Amino acid sequence: MKFVDEFRDAELGRALSAQILGELEPGRHYKVMEVCGGHTHAIYKYGLDDLLPENVELVHGPGCPVCVIPMGRVDDGIAVAHQPGVIFTCFGDMLRVPGSEYTLLQAKAQGADVRMVYSPLDALRIARENPDREVVFFAIGFETTAPSTALTLKRAKAEGLRNFSCVCNHVTIVPPLRALLESPDLRLDGFIGPGHVCTVVGARPLEFIPADYGRPVVISGFEPLDILQSILMILRQLRAGECRVENQYTRVVPQEGNLRALEVMAEVFALRPHFEWRGLGFISQSALRLSDAYADFDAERRFELPGVRVADPKACQCGEVLKGVIKPWECKVFGTACTPEHAIGTCMVSPEGACAAYYNFGRYAREREAV
Amino acid sequence: MSITGREERVLQIIETARAKRARFRDEQITLAHGAGGKATQTLIEGLLVPAFTAGREHSALSALGDAGRVQIGATGLAMTSDSFVVKPLRFPGGSIGELAVNGTVNDLAMAGARPLALTVSMILEEGLRSDILRAEVQAIATAALTAGVEIVGGDTKVVERGAADGMYLCTTGVGVIDERAELATDGIRPGDQILVSGPIGEHGSAIMLARDQFDLDAEIESDTCSLWPAVDALLEATGGQLHCLRDATRGGVASVLNELARASGVAMIVREGDVPVSPVVAAAAELLGIDPMYVANEGRLVAFVAPEAADAALAALRGVEGCEGAAAIGEVRADPSGMVMVHTAFGGRRVMDQLVGDPLPRIC
């Protein structure tokens, strides 16, 4: 595939790998967090861990939009889905995220009309085709997917659709990062910045990381060479004693972001005072609701939601795993109360989460035997 | 770094939990139980096998092959059954009728059996148009002729509108196990070479695109075909050195490798760069965020061959019409037992896990 294969060249990968080795200070252990779930996926898909020296460790960040949705919000979604006449739409990977009792997939098996869509516009089409049904879209994601929800709502408003509404769970990337950085026991040396989020918001919102917390950030693309190059750029900053936001993904990320997308978001959304994150607790101003101009499309106003907060089990230590303070196996509930089949925390919910990955491949990954 | 103390205890807890027999404890059936991944496994190994093998000293079912073995005197018969609920009924490269014949014929072939006869049951939805039915009946007849099997019986049922989706088909097949075949799901040995009979992921991709959910146009045709000619050629070229065969249907090549790695207690090492994938399937999979290794096939087999017979097996496969693109994609090792490892084309390694659920229900 043109314009893709160029970024997957194994020989260039080995060359970058050798350069990374050359930047390391002897005896130092490096922990670099990739913020975005898309990066985690690419690291896993291409086996990038293998191309890094043993003392460069990648820590998976809080950027998986599905796994950060707390149980109470999933319960709210399930309650809406069970209302008579409702067609409940959401992205496929949301279907398997556990609420306090069960998942949307199980709600579907119980008779709720839950449908998987690939874009919020598909949900809008379903609303047009079913004028006598209430169609609800369960919106999730960071600034990457928020503009498409916003545009969909604008279109719904322009068309005067009365049977379409949205449960808005959109979250923003900066507040959870700040929450992580605020923690006194943080053990991270640098950040691989979220390329797709920055396509929308630009590079500036990440500048507080070097400015306030003294950690380098490199905004990265999602191909394997992008990620290796970004790690190299972080290590170079560390070695030179520098600390700033660099943009490795210049072919896509403009410095100022996407102004039109930001405008649409500003029109359709408003900041929530606070929002709960699975594993991280409440974080202020970390999520979006529909603005008053779009109140008619807000499923939270249209339906009675239980809105019950379901606390993460006390024993869950996802926050500490995310901060790199403890290893998955050091968590009190790892492998006993919390397993991939019955996940408690965000790190176990997604198959690419740190705990799920360790649960499935732990001994192999640790022994790194020669195969 | 060595593993010691508490970490070792945690790993042992996980391993003990995994080694326990799968138990079926779900309160109700969800689509995940039909997706061919872990949930399907709990259904089969936790509910069906224990119930159907209870009170028997030996049961052919325990082998969990594509077809069961029935011995009549000196003759070994293979017998199998499969249901087809695909949507849409017709898709580029095939239709439900053709799938229903080839699917069952291939399950027999994977047991090393020359397919002989089929029965066909139809569940038809009230209101199904006759021209659609007629076309599928013709597709069944043509596919059976091509595959050299006779249709010897069947059944029809009509259910109320809404109780089925157009038509469902179920075929049961019987075949004679070839004398050259010494195949077993637990017969795979370290050193065996892993072959696939052609480019993978075409059937599932064709179905996904035919559903029109993606606004994506690409010319991908289903690979549905009878695999007996390929099996015949493999047996002729390798005989007893062919250790195991599987057709990579629901869950794709990745699921086959995982199931067999567990059944044989071996590791599978796949060289990603050697796996044949057509450019158009690769592009569609890239756009949809799907790994072609997990996408269903209806006319592709995975063969495990002793290393000394691998070249002959590959040459024999490539000589069969439709299998010109056959390739060796990896090899079997002793450790880490039960796991499938991928050497990525980029130079890294990863574990290729079992599918947890299915992003695309009902593709076969």
Domain assignments of chain A as residue spans, ordered by start: 5-63+185-192+215-247, 71-173+257-302, 318-360
Cβ-Cβ contacts under 8 Å, A110 against chain B: 28
Least confident of A189-193, B150-154, B180-184, B315-319: B180-184
Q: How far is B173 from chain A (nearest CA, A)?
A: 32
Cβ of B346 and A8 within 8 Å? Answer: yes
Residue pair B303/B242 in contact by the 8 Å Cβ criterion: yes
Sign of the dihedral defined by the CA atoms of residues A258, A259, A262, A268, in that order: negative
Q: At a CB cut-off of 8 Å and minimum separation 6, what does A209 contact?
A: A177, A181, A191, A215, A216, A217, A245
| Closest-approach residue (CA) in chain B for A52 | B348
Cβ of B351 and A369 within 8 Å? Answer: no
- Element housing A217 (H / E): strand A217-220
Q: From the candidates A9, A341, A355, A368, which should be mutated to test the interface with B, based on the most B CB atoms within 10 A?
A: A341
Q: At a CB cut-off of 8 Å and minimum separation 6, what does A75 contact?
A: A99, A100, A101, A306, A308, A310
Please tell me the distance from the alpha carbon of residue A210 to that of residue B350, in angstroms, as a whole number: 33
Cβ of A109 and B30 within 8 Å? Answer: yes
Q: How far is A122 from chain B (nearest CA, A)?
A: 9
Classify each residue of B304-322 as buried b or exposed e, where b means 16 or more C-beta atoms within 10 Å of its C-beta.
Answer: bbbeebbeebbebbeebeb
Residue B350 forms beta bridges with which residues? B342
Angle between helices B310-318 and B228-238 (to 10 degrees): 150
Residue A371's pLDDT is what? 35
Domains of chain B: 15-53 (no CATH), 64-177 (3.30.1330.10), 193-351 (3.90.650.10)
Cβ-Cβ contacts under 8 Å, B291 against chain A: 45
Q: Is the pLDDT of residue B2 over 70?
A: no
| Closest-approach residue (CA) in chain B for A358 | B11
Helix residue spans in chain B (DSSP H): 5-19, 38-43, 49-53, 96-110, 130-147, 202-210, 228-238, 252-264, 279-288, 310-318
Residue A273's pLDDT is what? 96
Cβ-Cβ contacts under 8 Å, A340 against chain B: 356
Cβ-Cβ contacts under 8 Å, B293 against chain A: none
Cβ of B345 and A51 within 8 Å? Answer: no
Cβ-Cβ contacts under 8 Å, B32 against chain A: 96, 105
Cβ of A46 and B344 within 8 Å? Answer: yes
Residue B3's pLDDT is what? 62
Cβ of B349 and A50 within 8 Å? Answer: yes
Q: Is the pLDDT of residue B359 over 60?
A: no
Residue A370's pLDDT is what? 35
Q: Is A51 on the interface with B (CB under 8 A)?
A: yes
Which of B258, B283, B284 lies closest to B270, judged by CA? B258
Residues 290-329 of A with CB under 8 A from B: 327, 329
Q: How far is A47 from chain B (nearest CA, A)?
A: 4
Residue B176's pLDDT is what? 97
Cβ of A105 and B7 within 8 Å? Answer: no
* Sequence letter at residue A13: G
Residue B251's pLDDT is what? 87
pLDDT one-digit tens code per residue, B231-240: 999 999 998 8
Cβ of B14 and A359 within 8 Å? Answer: yes
Per-residue pLDDT of chain A (371 residues; tens, 9 = 90+): 666 778 888 899 999 999 999 999 999 999 999 988 888 888 888 989 889 998 999 888 877 788 788 889 999 999 999 999 999 999 887 887 888 888 898 999 999 999 988 889 999 999 999 999 999 999 999 999 999 999 999 999 999 999 999 999 999 999 999 988 988 887 889 999 999 999 999 999 999 999 999 999 999 999 999 999 999 999 999 999 999 999 999 999 999 999 999 999 999 999 999 999 887 889 999 999 999 999 999 999 999 888 888 887 778 888 788 777 788 888 988 888 888 777 777 788 776 677 887 887 766 665 543 33
Fold of A5-63+185-192+215-247: Rossmann fold (3.40.50)
Residue B214's pLDDT is what? 66
Q: Is the pLDDT of residue B358 over 60?
A: no
For the domain A71-173+257-302, what is the CATH superfamily, name and number?
HypD, alpha/beta domain 2 (3.40.50.11740)
Mean pLDDT of B131-150: 97
Please tell me the distance from the alpha carbon of residue A179 to that of residue A206, in angstroms, as a whole number: 13
Q: Is B334 on the interface with A (CB under 8 A)?
A: no
- Looking at residue B249, the DSSP 8-state letter turns out to be -
Q: Is the pLDDT of residue B350 over 90?
A: no
Q: Is A250 on the interface with B (CB under 8 A)?
A: no
Helix residue spans in A67-145 (DSSP H): 71-81, 104-109, 120-129
Residue pair B206/B269 in contact by the 8 Å Cβ criterion: no
The pTM (predicted TM-score) of the whole model is 0.85
Q: Is the pLDDT of residue B167 over 90?
A: yes
Cβ of A105 and B286 within 8 Å? Answer: no
Cβ of B344 and A47 within 8 Å? Answer: yes
Q: Is B266 on the interface with A (CB under 8 A)?
A: no
Please tell me the distance from the alpha carbon of residue B223 to that of residue B205, in angstroms, as a whole number: 10
Residue B185's pLDDT is what? 87
Cβ of A335 and B350 within 8 Å? Answer: no
Least confident of A280-294, B182-196, B317-331, B348-362: B348-362
| Separation of first and last alpha carbons in chain B | 46
Q: Is B13 on the interface with A (CB under 8 A)?
A: yes
Residue A367's pLDDT is what? 52
Residue B364's pLDDT is what? 32
Q: Is B335 on the interface with A (CB under 8 A)?
A: yes
Count the neighbouring beta carbons within 10 Å of the beta carbon of residue A273: 10
Cβ of A329 and B356 within 8 Å? Answer: no
Sign of the dihedral defined by the CA atoms of residues B149, B152, B158, B159, in that order: negative
Q: Is the pLDDT of residue B288 over 80?
A: no
Cβ of B341 and A96 within 8 Å? Answer: no
Q: How far is A268 from chain B (nearest CA, A)?
A: 26
| Closest-approach residue (CA) in chain A for B16 | A335
Phi then psi dihedrals of residue B163, to 5 deg: -85, -10
pLDDT top residue among A96 and B118: B118
pLDDT one-digit tens code per residue, B186-219: 899 999 999 999 999 999 999 988 886 666 677 8
Q: How far is B190 from chain A (nearest CA, A)?
A: 13
Q: Is the pLDDT of residue B54 over 70?
A: yes
Q: At a CB cut-off of 8 Å and minimum separation 6, what does B66 contact?
A: B80, B106, B107, B108, B110, B111, B246, B247
Count the neighbouring beta carbons within 10 Å of the beta carbon of residue B126: 11
Cβ of A364 and B14 within 8 Å? Answer: no
Cβ-Cβ contacts under 8 Å, B11 against chain A: 329, 362-363
Please tell me the distance from the alpha carbon of residue B223 to that of residue B210, in angstroms, as a whole number: 14
Give the pLDDT band of residue B1 (cuts 50, 70, 90): very low
Q: Which two tokens stand for residue B17?
A: 């939990």
Cβ-Cβ contacts under 8 Å, A361 against chain B: 339, 351
Mean pLDDT of B271-279: 95
Cβ-Cβ contacts under 8 Å, A362 against chain B: 11, 14
Fold match, A5-63+185-192+215-247 / A71-173+257-302:
yes
Residue B213's pLDDT is what? 67
- The sheet that has A30-36: what strands, in order across it? A56-63, A30-36, A190-194, A217-220, A245-247
pLDDT one-digit tens code per residue, B290-299: 889 999 999 9
Q: How far is B137 from chain A (nearest CA, A)?
A: 32
